[in-house]
Amino acid sequence: MEENLDKEVKKVLVVDDEQAIIDVLVYNLKKEGYETLEANDGITAVNMAMKEKPDLMLLDIMLPKLDGLSVCKRVKNQLNIPILMLTAKDAEIDKIVGLELGADDYITKPFSVRELMARVKANLRKMEMANISKENIANNDMQEVQNGNTITVNELELDLDRFEVKVRGEVMDLTLREFEVLKFLATQPGQVITRETLLEKVWGYEYYGDIRTVDVTVRRIREKIEKDTSNPKILITKRGVGYYIANKR
């Protein structure tokens, strides 16, 4: 399976206004076998993304002409690709806003190239697996799809074949990452899962201390599936530990 996943050369769009950073990223991406595209400003980045349809984007927040957060929003409205934000060390608000606009991840400058490459690979692998599942659906007849794998916990229903979430029978519009988080929790209803475990199992790599990504993603999920986000009934917080799906009404 792994061999098949790596056959197609993946295309990564690198967006930064510092050419030296682009050069380092492009060098390491090419060394890993990726095809690369480059953009030095936000407008070019959006136009290039729409034209070239890359498999993943590395996106700096501080950009001329159009900032990275606006680029993220525009691209995500049109393309379902992983976006990894590059952000300054002290710009916590940028990280949070970026994730809320649909970014899949962020990494803080100065960053470890090895860690960045691990995140690129993990995000591409997640997207590839999702696409394979969708292709399998397309090759099945409707009866098989309707009898596909589902997880049901009280009012929550996840269709693992369609990557679809229903709450009280209503389809919710979740991103792939949000779906994966909810699926991981729903397979173990009532069991508290730590943020660190979610980062390792859902994001696909070990994180280095910063767990804000999980909190923001959970908040986005709650905004979509809960009637009252201040008093959640489905996705519950165990203070100081992690999250779990309620298995009792």
Taking only the tens place, the pLDDT of each residue in 143-197 is 333 345 888 888 899 988 778 899 988 888 888 788 889 999 998 889 999 988 8
pLDDT of residue 137: 43
CA 61 to chain centre: 17
Q: Which residues pair with 244 in a beta bridge?
A: 236
Q: What mean pLDDT comes out for the span 18-39? A: 94
pLDDT of residue 173: 83
**Rounded distance between C-alpha atoms, residue 125 and residue 81, angstroms:** 12
- Report the mean per-residue pLDDT for the chain: 82
What's the length of the chain?
A: 249
What is the C-alpha separation between 218 and 178, in angstroms, rounded?
A: 8
Residue 87, SS3 per DSSP: strand
Residue 2, pLDDT above cutoff 70: no
Residue 135 reports pLDDT greater than 70: no
Q: Give the separation between CA 153 and CA 158, rounded to whole angstroms.
A: 9
Q: What are phi and psi of 199, to 5 degrees?
A: -60, -40
Token pair for residue 161?
């074949």
Bigger pLDDT: 141 or 166? Answer: 166
- Lookup: tokens for 149: 């794998």
The rounded distance, in Å, linking the Cα atoms of 60 and 79 is 18
Give how far Cα 236 sits from Cα of 172, 218, 232, Å: 18, 10, 6
Stretch 15-39: mean pLDDT:
94
Contact 9, 33 (CB under 8 A): yes
- Residue 11 banded pLDDT, cuts 50, 70, 90: very high
Domain 140-245: which topology? Answer: Arc Repressor Mutant, subunit A (1.10.10)
Indicate yes or no: pTM above 0.85.
no
pLDDT tens figures, 75-86: 988 888 899 988
Instruction: Place 210 in a pLDDT band, splitting at 50, 70 and 90.
Output: low
The DSSP output letter for 236 is: E
Per-residue pLDDT tens over the stretch 49-68 = 999 999 999 999 989 999 99
d(C-alpha 117, C-alpha 31), whole Å: 10
User: Any idea which fold 2-130 has?
Assistant: Rossmann fold (3.40.50)
User: Is residue 209 scored above 50 in pLDDT?
Assistant: no
Residue 121's pLDDT band (cuts 50, 70, 90):
confident
Question: So where are the chain's domains?
Answer: 2-130, 140-245
Residue predicted with more confidence, 133 or 20? 20
Burial bucket for residue 93 (CB in 10 Å: 0-12, 13-18, 19+): exposed
